[in-house]
Amino acid sequence: MKIFQSITYYLGVYREFIGKRLYIVFGLTAAAALTEGFGITLILPLIEAADAGDGGLDGGSTAVRFIYSILGVLGIEESVVGILIFIGAVFIGKGVLKFVEGSYASYLRAQLLREIKGKMFNAYRVMDYGYYAHNNTGHFINVINGQINNFIRSFDTFTRFLTMIIITVSYLSIAFLLAWNFALMAVGIGFVLLFLFKFLNAYVQELSRKTASEESVLNKFLVQTIQSFKYLTSTNQMQHLKGGVMASIDKLANYMYRQGAASAFTQAIREPVSVIFLLFVIIIQVAVFDSPIAPIFVALLLFHRGMQHMIGIQDDWQKTMEKIGSLEMVVEEFETLKKNTEQTGEKKLGPLSEGITLENIYFKYNNNDDHVLKDLSIHIPVNKMVAFVGESGAGKSTLIDMLTLLLRPQLGSVHIDNINSEEVELASWRSQIGYVSQETVVFDDTIANNICLWKGDYKKDEEVRERIHKAAKRAYVDEYIENLNDGYDTVVGDRGVRLSGGQRQRLFIARELYKNPNLLILDEATSSLDTESERYIQKSIDSLKGSLTVVIIAHRLSTIKNADLIYVVEKGRVIEQGTYEELSLNRKSRFSRMVQIQSL
């Protein structure tokens, strides 16, 4: 019963994505199988027409009489040439049906790929930041690329498995009409074989689950190694990751070998079992029942094909089990993402007009951890420059994630223009934000596309081109770009590897300035710049004062001298606030001591 439950479950999973169209494949398969079985059965009247039989076949079984009635209507019941032409026409029809069935199955396969990858990407696009933070990049790449590809392959083998059942039933049904006793014998032996194979199927299914899980581990190692290639190679530490990579590869190779051995066993016994059964049938038919050879010949041909396909049922089910771990991982990922979808409100925000307020915020990442933010309350007025300073681990970056609504407080509230963040439509708020983080975000594309982020065509759209040049100039990266051979069409490489650290950061800033945000967040935006570049960027930031809301996280206190308001954060709390002058002149303030330390 378990196998039938599994078939129903997997069928439901595939149907969820491609609907009832799935059944059209099986209908076409059944038509092709019945056509082929009918063509094989036509050998009986062909033998009689050639006087090769013992006569009387037209008075035999119901199936034979039906065939003779069709030939009689066509007027070819005694014509060898006519029957041969009819057999040829039947098999041509079968070929056409097989072509249609195969083409339609390929179409469904493509639809399944489109549906499931698109759905997974959209699910990742709106996943909760907490879920993203608790997983690694390798996991996401493994699921959307590797495991979904295996999911598609499992669909191939599963449809073959079901079509093999249909074909087997078709052959044995026709054979049953010719010789019911031997058809029952074939079915009985087939079910015994499938029962014995259930242990092998369970073994292969477990290997599939282990393979899917281990592929995530390997992807994690590979992504981290490639992303850190420069550092690992420069410091000769690549070999330390080699152990984990090779151990994972060894496990996958072992699983692959064991799955292959199980498949080879099934393939190896396929022909012998079928032939031994046929020999057994011939002995019973001739030696015991002394039956005529002509119907035996046709029935055995059908039995042979039926038995071949019955073993094929096991083979394709086993191949399905080899990939079923991927199906289960993909389904589980969808279910997990449903529980971890980012919640958004319905109120669309207009341009920021009043400011942002955080009231009595408490936040911790895990239940067993200490609070990162504790009873924190701040106000960021519109069109003002506000800075947050404090030692590493004080909670500044977490606070920024509160402003972008990536994180939500366990206690307290965030209000944007006096609207509770729980009610805010996230897209309407985040579309107003420009965010320059500590880690530069640069894509493997042209400089122009990195600045406009594919929002227009640099070569064809003059307005887009002017905006890109303006943003680059404001970020003081225009002169460098124009001196390149390909200018704004220069491809910067993976994560901007062909640029210096300062150039990457200025390119990052240019992108955010291109966006014309209402809120610009600068999280250590000048930390990787040389002194000259930092001076230019500082002038650019200062020029924004009063035209939009700017939030700065800074360790270099010299970069926030012109801020309208400075918050000093320590251990998740605001301990001081004021202007640069007010805080630095207060000799007892924590900020004043920080200024003195940096002045040494």
How do residues 201-223 score in pLDDT, each as one tens digit? 677 778 777 887 888 778 777 77
For the segment 581-593, the average pLDDT, to the nearest whole number, is 88
The 8-class DSSP code of residue 487 comes to G
Q: Token pair of 395, please?
A: 């909670």
pLDDT given at position 413: 94
pLDDT attached to residue 59: 45
196, exposed or middle or buried, with CB in 10 Å at 0-12, 13-18, 19+?
Answer: exposed
Mean pLDDT of 139-147: 86
Instruction: Count other C-beta atoms under 10 Å from residue 526's C-beta.
Output: 26
On the question of pLDDT at 267 being above 60, the answer is: yes
55/179: higher pLDDT: 179
Q: How far is CA 59 from CA 50, 64, 95, in A?
A: 17, 8, 31
Q: Average pLDDT, stretch 227-241? A: 62
Q: What percent of the chain has pLDDT over 90?
A: 19
Q: Which DSSP helix (H) or strand (E) runs through 355?
A: strand 355-363
**3-class secondary structure, 363:** strand
* Structure tokens given for 542: 């200062």
- Whole-number pLDDT of residue 302: 65
Mean pLDDT for 131-154 is 85
Distance CA 424, CA 500 (A): 39
Angle at 329 between CA 325 and CA 331, to 5 degrees: 115
Of 353, 341, 358, 352, whose CA–CA distance to 420 is shortest?
358
Per-residue model confidence (pLDDT) at position 232: 61
Q: Which two tokens stand for residue 16?
A: 């969820």
Do the Cβ atoms of 373 and 401 come closer than 8 Å? no
Specify the higher pLDDT residue, 252 or 388.
Answer: 388
Measured CA to CA, the distance from residue 223 to residue 135 in angstroms comes to 13
Take residue 192 and report the two structure tokens written for it: 């015994």
CB 520 within 8 A of CB 512: yes
**CA–CA distance, 271 with 305 (Å, rounded to integer):** 10
Q: Give the Å distances, CA to CA, from 170 to 37, 41, 316, 357, 486.
A: 7, 12, 18, 72, 66
Say which residue the tokens 């897209």 belong to: 427
Q: What is the distance between the alpha carbons of residues 115 and 109, in angstroms, rounded to a whole number? A: 10
Instruction: Write down the pLDDT at residue 379.
Output: 95
How confident is the model at residue 529, as a pLDDT? 65
Mean pLDDT score, 567-589: 90
Residues 6+ apart with CB under 8 A from 285: 179, 182, 291, 296
Residue 55: predicted pLDDT: 42
Q: 54 pLDDT exceeds 50?
A: no
Return the closest-CA partner of residue 194 out of 325, 312, 320: 312
Of residues 73, 38, 169, the one with CA closest to residue 46? 38
Record the pTM: 0.73
Contact indicator for 38, 32 with CB cutoff of 8 Å: no
The whole-number pLDDT of residue 600 equals 42
With H, G, I as helix, E, B as strand and everything else as coil, classify residue 524: coil
**In this predicted structure, what is the pLDDT of residue 147?**
86
pLDDT of residue 292: 55
Say yes or no to pLDDT of 544 above 60. Answer: yes
Q: Which long-range contacts (CB under 8 A, 24 or more apart) does 368-375 make?
A: 371/572, 372/398, 372/572, 373/398, 373/399, 373/402, 373/409, 373/572, 373/573, 374/571, 374/572, 374/573, 375/412, 375/573
Per-chain mean pLDDT for the chain: 80
pLDDT reported for residue 57: 42
The residue among 47 and 381 whose pLDDT is bigger is 381
| pLDDT, mean of residues 425-454 | 88
Domains of the chain plus CATH, in order, are: 7-339 (1.20.1560.10)
Res. 80: pLDDT tops 70: yes
Give φ, ψ of 451 to 5 degrees: -80, -50
Task: Write down the pLDDT at residue 351.
Answer: 92
Q: Which stretch of DSSP H or E encloses residue 133?
A: helix 129-133
As a whole number, mean pLDDT of residues 72-85 equals 76
pLDDT tens digits, residue range 370-418?
899 999 999 999 999 999 998 888 889 899 999 999 999 999 999 999 9
Cα separation, 414 vs 499, in Å, equals 38
What is the reported pLDDT for 23? 82
Least confident of 41-45, 57-61, 84-88: 57-61
Q: What is the pLDDT of residues 107-133, one digit of tens each?
A: 888 888 888 888 999 899 889 988 888
Share of the chain above pLDDT 70, in %: 79
